[in-house]
Structure formats: structure tokens, C-alpha cells
Structure 1
Amino acid sequence: MSTDGTAGTGGTSGGSGGGTGGGRRHHRPIVVDPALADELPGPLDPALRDEIAHTTAAALVRHGRATQDPQVVERLVALVETEGLDVVAAMWSDCPADTLPGALWRLYVLREWVRRDPGTVADRYRQGVAAAPVHDAVAGVVDQPGPQDVRTVADAVLSGVYTGDLAVALERAAAFCQVLATGAAFDADHLDVVDPAAAHRQTRGAASLVRTAEELAHAAQLWRADRLE
């Protein structure tokens, strides 16, 4: 799934275990070493790239779950804003969904989409919620959510990776995606007559969200079985 919610992430085990507000002092990035980041986009050996992906993901989760500082968790949640989506993608985007870095990548992409287009996400959620009440209950979104509400949920899901049960965070994200997929499908039906091309894009987006939901739910099962690495 891309940040517009229309394209799927590539590929498919519990493992180890933000940007600051306007008035706060700036913090040095806490996870990605700049020299390492410079090397990642290049033609690294696939085995080395895989090792870096798993090592950074495990370190990130371990660091977040070991801290009692809410500002650290906030900075971890806002990793994409501080490091850039390209850096995070270079680390994790090629990882299968049934790995810790692959699962984290999907969570961060989901949050980035919500952050960039909260109005669309909120609208899709409102359209899908009536047809997916069970998933809505798991996702934990308020009734008739607005843009800020879906942003809050996306942040809460990622915070849960570092402060709660990671499997629950993955399941909340999966449920969130399922409701959005239902909303996107309804939107496609409405567009089918007036704009078939847009309806086709929405249908593909809905399928992508369903696939992402299934991947996140499976990752949650793996985490509970101590097999998400």
C-alpha cells in the first residue's frame, strides 16, 4: 500500500522489543545512522540488506519498549517525518510481510497515508464502518471520525508497538485497513457510472487494503507465537 492507499506493498516473525511538537527542542535522530542511511539506497548485497533490515527493526522495537520516556516514543512514531520515507523504505520496504521489518514498514506507510490525506481516510472510514462493525470495534475509532480522529488512531496504533502489546497494535491496524477497504469499495461503486477509471483505481485500492489487513493480522499471529523476526 502506498501513501495514497492505492498500491500494495511488496512481499510478506513477537520479536524484540517522533517528531517533536512545535515548542519543543529538536532531538538528534535516535535510530538511523546517517552513514548507514547513505549506503542503503545503493546496490547492497541482498543478504546484508536483509540483515540491516532485521537488525534495525529489532533495535527500534527493543529501544521503544525499554524506554519510559514518552518523547522517545513520540519520536519513534514520527520516524518517517524525521528520517524521510525514502530512508525507511530503503531499510524495510523489500521485506516480506511476515517479518518484523515488513510489518513495521506497513504500519509506517499506513500512518504516512493517514498523515498526508486524513480527509480522504476519514471519508472512506465513515463509508465503510456500517458494513464492518466488528473491524470498527477492534480499530477503536470514534463515531463519525474526522481527519484529526483518524490521525490520532494511526498515531495510537504505532505507539502501541512500543508501549503495549505489539500483536494488538497489528490487529488494530488490520481492522482499520479492513474498514477502509470496505469504504473504498463503496466509493468505487458510486464512481462506476460517472468515472469508470477512478472506480477501477478505487477497486484496486480496496484490494490492496484488504491484502495489507491480512498481512498485518498474520504478523500479529506470528508475534504471539514468538515467530515474527
Structure 2
Amino acid sequence: MSDSWQPRGGQPRRPVLFDHTHTASIPGGEDPGNYGEVAHMTANVIVTQAHADATPDIIDRLVRLVEREGIDTVAALWSTSPPNTLPGALWRLYLLREWVRDSPDLTTTHYRLGRDTAHVSHAIAGPIDPPTPTDIAALADTVLSGAFTGALDVALARASAFCQVVSVGASLGADSSDSSGRLDTGATSRQLTHIARRFHELFTDFQEASSLARAGLLD
């Protein structure tokens, strides 16, 4: 695992998600204030319209927004938004789904390692037990769609719980790496520690956003 993630077609994509030194460099226009207004406006319009007309077709199109528009387009809208805002929370939900879609086997390995230790979070996240890569990919879709079909705070709480389980699993994997410094997945202890830290950051980001959404303060 390196800091560059590869899509299934093999072409390089944006450096690994969760590395905010990269996402922070995406241009936001000449006036950051105007850019922030656009980010909030688009996020609110999307969520409001989805809640008003949550047909399966619309929800499916929203879940697959990155596939249709490209990660760079979504990043240009929301990537510089703080995690305690609606556009920032949506951006992180899309990034989480992209990570799972591009690394389902590795994510599942980490999740299965962490679910017994973080058993409460595992229950909140709600996958089939034990989950397969297909189950984990489906869960990522379900969590993201929940932001548009149900209570946003619940969707963010599930995302937070999922990230905590994966973070714990990656940490355990790093601690139990063999004498060569690698696991069966091919990841080194250092790389697993990096993954654990990034998922822990997402865990805390989603946790704060969920609390704000529950209080009606996520905007």
C-alpha cells in the first residue's frame, strides 16, 4: 500500500484519501468566501432535494456521483470544507466509499481484524458477520445512501463506527506483522499504521459531524 491509490483500470488517481495535504491544495477560486458559499449551497440543495424526492433512481445517481462526474469534480466542490460542515461531511462519505471500492479486500481484512475489539462500533456499522469484500462494498453504498434517504446523523454515526473498526484492525495488523515486516496482504507495518491513523481521523470527523447533525447544526 502506498500513498497513491489505483483504480481497477490501473491508471493513477488522486493521492490516497485522508491525506489532507493533497485535498487542501485543490483550487477553490479567487474568493475563498464565495467558494465556501457555493460548497454549502450545493450540499444543502442535494440533501434537501434527495429527502424531498428519495426515489431509488435519484438515490442511486447520488451514490454514484463520483463515477458519473469524477472524483476531481466532487473534490473541487467540497474537499476544502471543514469536517464539521455538511459539504465536508459529504466529501468524506464519498471518499470513504471510493476507498472501499478500490481496496475491498484490504478494507475487509482490517475490518474483520478490528470487529471483535471494537464490537460496539461493529454493531453500529451493521455489516453481515463475518463480512466479505462484497458485504463491505455494499455497506459503503448503504452508509452513503443513508445520508440522502434517512437521518443524516445516523448515516454519519455508521460511517464513524465503520472507520473506527477499520482503524483498530489496521493497528492490530501492524502490531502482528511477521518478522519480514509484511502481512499476507503485502502491506508493511508502517503502511498499516498510516492507514490506521487516517481511518481514525475519519472516525473522529464523522463522530463530530454526526453530533452536529443530531442537534440540527450541521450546515
- Asked whether the two chains share a fold, i.e. TM above 0.5, the reply is yes
- TM-score, length basis structure 1: 0.81
Over 3 Å counting, the alpha-carbon distance change for 1:108 and 1:7 in structure 2 is closer
The within-5 A match list for 1:56-71 is 56-71=42-57
What is the alpha-carbon root mean square deviation over aligned residues?
Answer: 2.2
Residue 157 of structure 1 corresponds to 143
Contact 1:122 1:145 in 2 (8 A): yes
Quick one: which of 213, 218, 221 aligns to 2:211? Answer: 221
Quick one: which of 74, 86, 98 aligns to 2:84? Answer: 98
Question: Are residue 76 (structure 1) and residue 62 (structure 2) matched?
Answer: yes
Over 3 Å counting, the alpha-carbon distance change for 1:170 and 1:42 in structure 2 is closer
Q: Hey, what's the Cα distance between the residues in 1 that align with 2:113 and 2:16?
A: 17
Unaligned 5+ segments in structure 1 are 12-39
Question: Identity of paired residues, percent?
Answer: 44
CA deviations 1:103-135 (Å, max 9, x no partner) are: 001100000111111111111111111111100
Residue 183 of structure 1 corresponds to 169
Question: Are residue 85 (structure 1) and residue 71 (structure 2) matched?
Answer: yes
AA aligned to 1:113 is: W
Secondary structure at the aligned position of 1:98 is classed as: coil
CA deviations 1:14-50 (Å, max 9, x no partner) are: xxxxxxxxxxxxxxxxxxxxxxxxxx95743111111
Contact 2:28 2:35 in 1 (8 A): no
Residue 26 of structure 1 corresponds to none
Question: Are residue 120 (structure 1) and residue 106 (structure 2) matched?
Answer: yes
Secondary structure at the aligned position of 2:58 is classed as: helix
Identify which range, 89-98 or 41-50, moves more after superposition. 41-50
Q: Hey, what's the Cα distance between the residues in 2 that align with 1:99 and 1:203?
A: 27
- TM-score, length basis structure 2: 0.85
The size of the alignment, in residue pairs, is 200
